[in-house]
Amino acid sequence: MPSSLKKTIGILGGVGPEATAELFRRIIRMTGAQCDQDHLPVIIFNNPAIPDRTAAIIGRGASPLPALKDTARRLEKAGADCIAIPCNTAHFFLPQIRRAVHIPVLDMIDATAACIAAVHPGVRRVGLLATTGTVRSRLYHAALRRRRVRVIVPPASAQRDLVMAAIYGREGIKAGARRRPAQMLRQAAELLREADAGLLIAGCTEISMVLRGRCAGLPLVDPLTVLAREAIRQAGETSALCGASRIVSG
């Protein structure tokens, strides 16, 4: 497609910064480009000043909504034709963000649920590895319930000591660690497998950076890859590299 006909993707970034860079990398890798000029125009606003989303949802921090809306408006003003947010938890605020702009803001949660229903139609129990904010928001629960799929989560102690520690801990992913967080997340995944999960969702974009392929013997569905695919489609690219089969990470 001629570059003049391609829409510009806006990435509402800083939530967190590495996930922002990873989404951009996946958009590049998944676009069927043969040269520089075949790639899609992308505007990134990496705004690390946006308050923590989980802290706000559980009542322990400032609301990120004003900063999320302001960042979305700046992307629109800069020329973005659509906006992708590489943060599952931030989708709790998606309706308000959408009302703040006049361009589409993609829904990573619903797109992931739709892909699971299409690619894994026989699965009826899905294990969710995500921040406590995403778990409490029940965004995935609602999106998958509409597809007659049940979401299960780790026990409270494992959610705190394994999943949240792997993401936010001193040796967590946000602090730059990789090996130990991956081990902790695999432990949590084992608990979900034992609870009869048929597949897993890497429901935090930081998790997307340390777990790939199968985990605990189960397929691992990666919403960050789903979001990259949806952004590419929104921008007018129809590459085969964006097919539904690529929602499984790795």
Domain extents in the chain: 3-107+225-247, 108-223
Cis, bond preceding 16 (omega within 30 deg of 0): yes
Q: Which residues contact 206 (CB under 8 A, 6 or more apart)?
A: 16, 18, 19, 167, 173, 174
Q: Is 82 a catalytic residue?
A: no
Which position among 82, 115, 204, 242 bears the catalytic label?
204
* Domain 3-107+225-247 part of CATH 3.40.50.1860: yes
Q: Is 87 a catalytic residue?
A: yes
Alpha helices in the chain (DSSP H): 17-30, 53-57, 65-78, 94-100, 108-119, 132-137, 139-145, 156-158, 165-168, 179-194, 223-234
- What is the DSSP secondary-structure string of 90-101? GGGGHHHHHHH-
Tens-binned pLDDT, residue by residue, of the chain (250 aa): 555 678 999 999 999 999 999 999 999 999 988 999 999 999 999 999 999 999 999 999 999 999 999 999 999 999 999 999 999 999 999 999 999 999 999 999 999 999 999 999 999 999 999 999 999 999 999 999 999 999 999 999 999 999 999 999 999 999 999 999 999 999 999 999 999 999 999 999 999 999 988 999 999 999 999 999 999 999 987 654 444 444 554 3
| Residue whose token pair is 């609602």 | 142
Which position among 82, 87, 115, 242 bears the catalytic label?
87
Which CATH number applies to 108-223?
Answer: 3.40.50.1860
Q: Identical fold at 3-107+225-247 and 108-223?
A: yes
